[in-house]
Amino acid sequence: MKQTQYGDVSVELRESIAIVTLARSAKRNALSDAMMASLEQAFSELPTSVGAAVLCGSGDHFCAGLDLSELKDRDAVEGLHHSRSWHRILSGLEFGRIPIVAALHGAVVGGGLELATSCHIRVADDSAFFALPEGSRGIFVGGGGSVRVPKLIGVHRMLDMMLTGRVYKAAEAVPLGFAQYHAATGGALDMAIELATRIATNAPMTNYALIHGLPRIAEQTADHGFFSESMLVAIAQSAPEAKARVRDFLEGRAAKVQV
């Protein structure tokens, strides 16, 4: 186990996975500019031996969103560049080298929800709640939320959240699409670690093809999507590791699909 600190972001390496923690609980893990830079650096410096990551928050909440204390000094042009920096950093997570599992508890709000939706798998424990208070703070989402959130829950649910301040609770997270998994209170991190450990056993090229290919193919026409799919399957199956894994199955050494 190796622990590295990047400002208010800590990284623990546990064999094939990394646990990245937002470590600013006194401010409910509100994302300052420095913290966003730390997050970007932490992920970019993960060693290639890491095959999947968990992203979680310290204290009682996952993340309270943008650090509102830094908002007051920005003019329009600075606001534009600030939003674009979030896009760069969160797209770097979504389209990075490895899958990321977000362990969600407490507040997953504003930019915290934008951060969670840039991860690939979300586990919400019973304490988690989801909100977009930007509507009532006189602002707008700026970290990619208008693109990523509707893909999970639909445009009209997001509209409702921003217009009325509606808060969704953990029990609704999986049925509505905020998360793929639900855990008991305090159980999100363990479940996320288990999932990330499982994901890290996949062939790296398959994981890469999935996180880069699937979201892009979903936005292509069927004809373009079929072609992209063929390119990805051809590359993935040509890797020596893929051939070895298929051989392992055919010779009875690999795990079967379990019900």
Catalytic residues: 114, 134
Q: Candidates 48-56, 60-68, 167-175, 187-195 — which segment interacts with ligand 1HE by CB under 6 A?
A: 60-68
28 binds ligand 1HE per the rule CB under 6 A: yes
- State both tokens at 7: 């400002």
Would you say 13 or 139 has its CB closer to ligand 1HE? 139
142 binds ligand 1HE per the rule CB under 6 A: yes
Burial 126-148 (b: 16+ CB within 10 A, else e): bbbbbbbbbbeeeeebbbbbeeb
- State both tokens at 78: 């600075």
Would you say 96 or 111 has its CB closer to ligand 1HE? 111
Q: Cβ of residue 248: shortest distance to ligand 1HE, in angstroms?
A: 45
Give the Cα separation of 115 and 8 in Å (integer): 16
239 binds ligand 1HE per the rule CB under 6 A: no
Would you say 45 or 60 has its CB closer to ligand 1HE? 60
CA 143, 212, 177, 59 dihedral sign is negative
Contacts with 190 (C-beta within 8 Å, 6 or more apart), sequence order: 183
Interacting residues toward ligand 1HE by CB under 6 A:
27-28, 30, 60-61, 64-69, 83, 86, 107, 109-111, 133-134, 137, 139, 141-143
